[in-house]
Amino acid sequence: MNARPVIAFLTGGYSGEAEISYKSAITIEKNIDTDKYEVYKIDIRLDGWWYQSSNGIAVQIDKNDFSLTIDGAKILFDAVLIGIHGTPGEDGKLQGYFDMLGIPYSSCDAATSALTFNKRYTVAVAAFAGIKVAQSLHLFKHRPIAAASIAAQLQMPVFVKPNNGGSSIGMSKVMDPSGLDAALEKAFQEDEQVLVEEFISGREFTIGVFRKEGQIITLPFTEVITKKDFFDFEAKYQGLSEEITPAQVEEEIAVKVRSAARRVYEVFNCRGIIRIDFIYNEAAGEPYMLEINTVPGQSEASIVPQQVKAMGWTLRDFYAALIEEALADK
């Protein structure tokens, strides 16, 4: 009988989103099939990449070959399951490192991860491929632009958000030009680049997409109804939104959302599980893509686990499918 594949499960990270990574890690750890896989949880932190052994001793990863040495035995990994939100797990940095070492991993590749981490470049590529997106402006901290100039180029209301990162930290909805300066200041505290995007009215849908044995699978999608003005950090993580999974929609709308999601997955050459946020604009009869999350949350409050269950899968089946897809790249 073959030995179990040896899997490194990565959590932590170098940004404020590490807090979300640790929440996701609880769900993932509980649901990885350890009968099938030999799993080592690695905490990626600024002070080192650490594995906590069963006897409580912290062992540091050797970054030369991404190996662990425990009790004199060297452990190398067959594949990596990436559960890090924010840098360096969602922005392509770790993916590039693993590419150089020839170790397969569960997420999108380095180029796609880096591209989709930049919200403005994501919508530019999507628009070029004929996917509907909102009008937007890309601002840089070192090149300030007056609020009046923004208001002249975009229709109010607008969303102002950090260009990189996720979890809706630093995001504001601005109803008129007088609110732009404060919103820009808030967003620039989180990032050197900011995206200002026209508000698209409609229903908010979010959909998980992954590939299994070469087939793109769309999960039953969710409608997000927020009790706040928009789906911000509090709405996302502090219960101030209602998530209906699967969304109660006419089949005609569902077909358009699933089709757009598959198109996004193909255009961006995605791998592993991603989550795509859309606004379905009734007037246009089209879903507008907001953003792509290449390492979607997996905590108890997160949307992808809800969608996996709505499809009739267990999370154990789901994480096994992601690991198997990564192992197939060996």
d(CA 18, CA 89): 10
Domain boundary assignment for the chain? 6-106, 114-133+200-294, 136-198
Alpha-carbon dihedral 19, 21, 23, 24, rounded to 10 degrees: 160
Q: What is the pLDDT of residue 239?
A: 54
Q: What is the pLDDT of residue 149?
A: 94
CA atoms within 13 A on the CB side of 312: 0
Radius of gyration of the chain measured on its C-alpha atoms: 20
> Looking at the predicted structure, is the pLDDT value of residue 90 above 60?
yes
Q: What is the pLDDT of residue 232?
A: 45
* Higher-scoring residue by pLDDT: 330, 56: 56
> Looking at the predicted structure, is the pLDDT value of residue 234 above 60?
no
> Looking at the predicted structure, is the pLDDT value of residue 242 above 60?
yes
* Higher-scoring residue by pLDDT: 53, 221: 221
Q: What are phi and psi of 261, to 5 degrees?
A: -65, -45
Helix 18-31, helix 315-327: angle, nearest 10: 100
Section 310-321 average pLDDT = 97
The conformation of residue 178, written as its DSSP 8-state character, comes to G
Percent of the chain with pLDDT over 70: 94
> Looking at the predicted structure, is the pLDDT value of residue 10 above 70?
yes
Query: Which residues make Cβ contacts (< 8 Å) with residue 285, sequence separation at least 6?
Result: 256
And the tokens for 51?
């594995």
SS3 helix, strand, coil % of the chain, rounded to 5?
30, 30, 40
Using the CB atoms, write b or e for 196-226: b if 16+ within 10 Å: bbbbbebbbbbbbbbbeeeeebbbbbbbbeb
> Looking at the predicted structure, is the pLDDT value of residue 230 above 70?
no
Q: What is the pLDDT of residue 166?
A: 56
With 0-12 / 13-18 / 19 or more C-beta atoms within 10 angstroms meaning exposed / middle / buried, residue 295 is: buried
Q: What is the pLDDT of residue 190?
A: 87
d(CA 107, CA 117): 13
Same fold, 114-133+200-294 and 136-198: no
* Homologous superfamily of the 136-198 domain (CATH): ATP-grasp fold, A domain (3.30.1490.20)
* Higher-scoring residue by pLDDT: 265, 53: 265
Section 130-134 average pLDDT = 96
Q: What is the pLDDT of residue 89?
A: 97
Q: What is the pLDDT of residue 144?
A: 84
And the tokens for 222?
């969710």
Mean pLDDT of the chain: 92
Residue 56 pLDDT level (bands cut at 50, 70, 90): confident
CA atoms within 13 A on the CB side of 275: 23
> Looking at the predicted structure, is the pLDDT value of residue 62 above 60?
yes
Section 299-318 average pLDDT = 94
> Looking at the predicted structure, is the pLDDT value of residue 6 above 80?
yes
Section 265-273 average pLDDT = 97
Concatenated DSSP letters for 221-261? Answer: PEEEEESSSS--HHHHHSS-EEEESS----HHHHHHHHHHH
Q: Coil, strand or helix: which one is 13?
A: coil
d(CA 76, CA 329): 16
pLDDT in tens, 147-183: 999 999 999 999 999 887 554 678 899 999 999 999 9
pLDDT in tens, 100-110: 999 999 999 99
Answer yes or no: CATH 3.40.50.20 is held by domain 6-106. Answer: yes
Residue 210 pLDDT level (bands cut at 50, 70, 90): very high
Q: Torsion-angle region of residue 173: left (phi > 0), alpha (psi -120 to 50) or beta?
A: beta
Residue 301 pLDDT level (bands cut at 50, 70, 90): confident
* Higher-scoring residue by pLDDT: 238, 253: 253
Element (H, E) at 277: strand 274-281
Answer yes or no: CATH 3.80.10.10 is held by domain 114-133+200-294. Answer: no
pLDDT in tens, 31-49: 999 999 999 999 999 999 9
Residue 55 pLDDT level (bands cut at 50, 70, 90): confident
